Chain A
Amino acid sequence: MASALRTIFHVDMDAFFASVELRDDPSLRGKPVLVGGEGRRGVVAAASYEARRFGCHSAQPMAVALRRCPHAVVLPPRFDAYSEASAQVFEVFDRFSPLVEGLSIDEAFLDMTGTERLLGPPRTAAEALRSAVRQRTQLTCSVGISAVKFIAKLASAIDKPDGLTEVLPGTELEFLATLPIGKLWGVGDKTEARLREHGVRTVGDLRRISADALQRMFGEHGLHLHALAHARDDREVIPGRERKQVSHEDTYAVDVVGEEALRRKLLSQATRVADRLTAKGIGGRKVQLKIRDIDFRTETRQCTLPEPTSEARVIYDAVCRLLQELELAGRRFRLTGVGVGQLQDVRAPRQLDLLAAVEPPAEARGQRLQGVLSEVRRKFGHQALYPAEAGSNEREGSAGGFTTTLEED
């Protein structure tokens, strides 16, 4: 624990995508709803609480979810609607604390230290926050309160949905004692299995193992586990949201065979990634390609560009170069993905390239063109304008899509 006692909120929206769908279409209320790709290989992006009762959850293959809950309503994701709701939610967060650390589209840490005189004791402030979110978006969220960052996150999950859990200072160890170790940050399947071999099932059990023993078992990571088990976590709430990568992945219902077909998919994905980068005014230097064949063999390749880019063509060209490094013959692919990392603000002061004239990297003109293309797609949907090579059937991916067309404007 930090020397001065802090108050940290972890706010997590309840079944976010599904809740947005239920809000926008009241006829769905009370029905199990799954958001995600419909195809044979689609993946569940969100499940409503009604669907969860049948054993459905996010990241589950859609086929499995539908076996558990055959009468579920399956909806394609509407990312625009979710982004809009997310922006509103974060606006509310910003009203409550200047220190907001976004973890994803629908969850954040808020450092509430020192807000007592303004907003009252933590529990009162949390109730006010929850009602402000509900008023602004008609969506519910759950809040965890603790002086320790990772405990706040664990606490928000205790009383979901629409819940509030406060772990009072001094009661952290008690709170952790009965928690299954799998719930701890950084304990994955492998770590959990190894700990189970030593009879460790709960965080309480973990606390009985010495730091030395944990270090012998897991190295540096072991010391981290030891600290967590003793409720020690000095990580602060870091405002902003540091994006590491912007990527787009699709799982296909129909196998992708042959280099040409792969390229078409990758071009479409590079275009989507470029649009998202452009919308945020950022570019990246690291380009990553990911493919997975029907035997679940996953391969990734990455390269670094001389200049950060947000241009589809530059990203696509890099991806094609990476594709050359992979053995494609005789393989059928079920997933492809394109990602761009090492992100930076393209509007910040930027070092100009001396060799641009003799070794042209990303042209400034290309960057401007990308701006226009991305803006058209943002307004009219990603099918409004796309590279011809990507093909019009580019919507097969599990991410689905929305179909705003030019006529609707």
Chain B
Amino acid sequence: MEFEIDQARFLSALSLAQTVADKRATMPVLANVLLRASADGHVVCSTTDMMISLTEQIPADVRKPGSLTVGVKHLHGVIKTLPGGDLRFRGLDNHWAEIVAGKSQFKLMGMPENDFPALPDPERGAKGQKPVSFATITGHVLTDLIQKTEFSVSTDEARVNLNGVLLESDGTTATMVSTDGHRLTKYARPLDGLRLDKGIIIPLKGMREIRRVLDRVPGEVQLGIGDQCLFLRAGELTLSVRLNNVTFPPYKQVIPANHKREVRVARDELLGALRRAEVMAPEKTATVRVRLSEGTLELTADNPDLGVAHQEISVDLEGDGLEAGFNARYLMAALEVIDSEDVRLQFQNELDPCVIKPGDEAEFLAVVMPMRI
């Protein structure tokens, strides 16, 4: 195998590839990138951690077709330090790779292609299944959906069905929902073209990878949902994400349908007060006490080991007063993804979930369960 390739183009492919590769895997080859040079003037770069796979096709001057895998971390490290312009990549005996740029020469130890696992192929579904059909969608809508919901995905391995975001789409509106059991975030946006019979659960690492791909390739992208995998085609990139084959909890049942009290407050003011309170709040639980009375929201963080922080904010309150405990970080995370100037906080009683909505009618809501204090 031998090809000449543009350093910057190669580097951008490897930068993305190395976020997928699994450097701590029990299978050493998963820390490698598979490079396949074909006679039609392309090099295909592939990485996988068995759950997520990424391939990118880069134009190259292929002198001799062939394939090889090398550790992506070090290959990326080498290419990053080379000057711009063309570099030459050559496969040597015993799966060694040689990289030459100007007067620099590197040799990296690689592995044969046979050791690299086969990647999911949208054209050939699992055993006799028909090829996956793709819908064309606007990339930045997907990015926005992910950005506003990924923070409340559970990382608790004991709750597998919460380790991803639920995506539902009826052809005109797409909805993403995530919950860690203590809070829930739901965000809907108009999105044409994607029609799903039932919701799919995209694991957290997959969401992050989708975002990275969409950051690289703006504009329209193709999304296809197979039996076990989600496929995303963006420009020369193909990403596949194995879906969590579990059942998402019936989330609609835990979103309160009505409320007894509603507070309207300036988002920045509440967020600032929470940030200050969090400094004093107990490290582990970040417990703050929220007290609502006519025209005022009081926020208190009381830490027996440290001291007390007390703040007051002017608000519009509809309904009776209330006192409840919350994890300040949960409230902050929800407020941070809301763009509107004002936010609405809806309560029932002190042990019932609080609903946070933007002041305008945007299709976003966050449900935060209180703490028993």
Contact = CB atoms under 8 A, between A and B. Distances in A.
B254 A357 contact: yes
B181 interface: yes
Interface stretch (A125-133, A228-236, A271-279, A299-307): A299-307
Contact of A354 (B156, B183, B282): B183
B373 A349 contact: yes
A304 B369 contact: no
Interface string B229-257: 00000000000000000000111011000
A359 B369 contact: no
Nearest to A352: B369
B285 to A, nearest CB: 6
Given A348-B285, A354-B182, A359 B371 contact: no
A365 interface: no
Contact of A358 (B249, B327, B373): B249
A354 B369 contact: yes
Contact of A350 (B157, B159, B372): B372
Contacts of B184: 354
A324 interface: no
Given A306-B159, A352-B369, A353-B182, 6 more contacts: A304-B157, A349-B325, A354-B179, A354-B369, A358-B249, A358-B251
Given A305-B158, A355-B179, A349 B250 contact: no
A45 to B, nearest CB: 35
Nearest to B154: A306
Given A306-B181, A358-B249, A353 B372 contact: no
B158 A354 contact: no
Contact of B287 (A349, A352, A353, A355): A349
A352 B157 contact: no
Nearest to B182: A351
Nearest to A286: B158
Interface in A273-308: 285, 303-306
B287 A354 contact: no
Interface of A: 285, 303-306, 348-355, 357-359
Interface of B: 156-159, 179, 181-184, 249-251, 253-254, 282, 285, 287, 325, 327, 351, 353, 367, 369-373
Given A348-B285, A358-B254, A359-B249, A353 B158 contact: no
Contacts of A352: 182, 351, 369-372
Given A349-B371, A350-B371, A351-B285, A304 B156 contact: yes
A238 to B, nearest CB: 14
Contacts of B353: 354
B156 A351 contact: no
B190 to A, nearest CB: 27
A306 B249 CA distance: 14
B181 to A, nearest CB: 5
Contacts of A357: 253-254
B101 to A, nearest CB: 39
11 contacts: A304-B157, A349-B371, A350-B372, A351-B327, A351-B369, A352-B371, A353-B182, A354-B182, A354-B367, A358-B251, A358-B253
A289 to B, nearest CB: 15
B322 to A, nearest CB: 15
